[in-house]
Amino acid sequence: MKYLGGKHKIGGEISRILKHVCPEHINRYLEPFCGALGVLRHMTSDFICTASDIQPDMIHLWIGVKNGTFISPTNITETFYKKVKSMKKHSALKGFVGFLCSWNGMYFAGLANYKGTNRNVCREANNDIKKVRPLLKKVTFKCASYDKYNPKDTLIYCDPPYEGTIGYTGTKGEFDHASFWNKMREWSKTNIVIISEEQAPKDFKCMWKKGYSRGRGFKSKKSNPKGKDVFEKLFIHRDNYDLLRSNIRTIHVKSTKPQRNTKRRTKRKTRRK
């Protein structure tokens, strides 16, 4: 599922890392920049999940998919695309068309029309929605800014707009990176917080990185103007890095496994009841 800055290609790998480093006693999971659910869809069987985003159309979409109230179109023409784009009211339909059916998952950046091929972006989006729907039954969706939360004893994964890159559309105002990192420091005192970024302040340590290509749709203003390969990195505050050092050191060994061991999964499911 295409989404600007989304983790549809490496979401499974990131989710395995999150599960591997997370302490046993934590069974809540918060994703305040959930987007197209590239990571969250892999977390729902192990945690009590809250998915949040400040982009209202995407949250409308996921609530509609979860509840079965959103009936997606089976085909999209240029005329229909422009009609949906002109709608003033936020809706699940605008989330579906504006993101999932647009070039590179950029909000109404033009209908992704792969002429001369058998690809159909509307069909692809519908197929992905069918796959993810059963995973969302117990997920709580909220439309809110990340800084409105006050979590505790929670595993938190943040995938914010990357500093120095072209920002997201469909939301208001510029993203305040300094305020974001201050909030990450605050949360890290009582939670396990892991952040996807290319760079971070000195008190955050890189716990994993991987070469990754985002393409032109996520090009950097400075270092990556043509969308070339970059390093995807996961950062954690140095205090939590020291706390979880033994788990972090074995990421490359354990993160290749498809899921947590049965004993660990059973403990979390017992706590939910």
Radius of gyration of the chain (CA): 19
pLDDT in tens, 164-219: 765 555 455 689 999 999 999 999 999 999 999 999 999 999 999 988 665 544 44
Task: With beta carbons less than 8 A apart as the criterion, state whether 230 and 202 touch.
Answer: no
Amino acid, res. 160 = P
Domain ranges of the chain: 11-272
Residue that the structure tokens 């490359």 belong to:
252
Q: What is the largest CA-CA distance in the chain?
A: 56
Note the pLDDT tens digit of each residue in 224-256.
Answer: 445 556 788 999 999 999 999 999 999 864 444
Task: Quote the pTM value.
Answer: 0.85
Query: Domain 11-272: which topology?
Result: Rossmann fold (3.40.50)
pLDDT in tens, 55-89: 999 999 999 999 999 999 999 999 999 999 999 99
Instruction: Specify the residue for token string 């590239």.
Output: 38
Helix H or strand E encompassing 142: strand 140-143
Most confident of 8-17, 95-104, 115-124, 149-158: 149-158
Of 152, 124, 132, 162, give the one whose Cα is nearest residue 33: 162
- Indicate if the pLDDT at residue 31 is higher than 50: yes
Instruction: Give the separation between CA 176 and CA 163, rounded to whole angstroms.
Output: 9
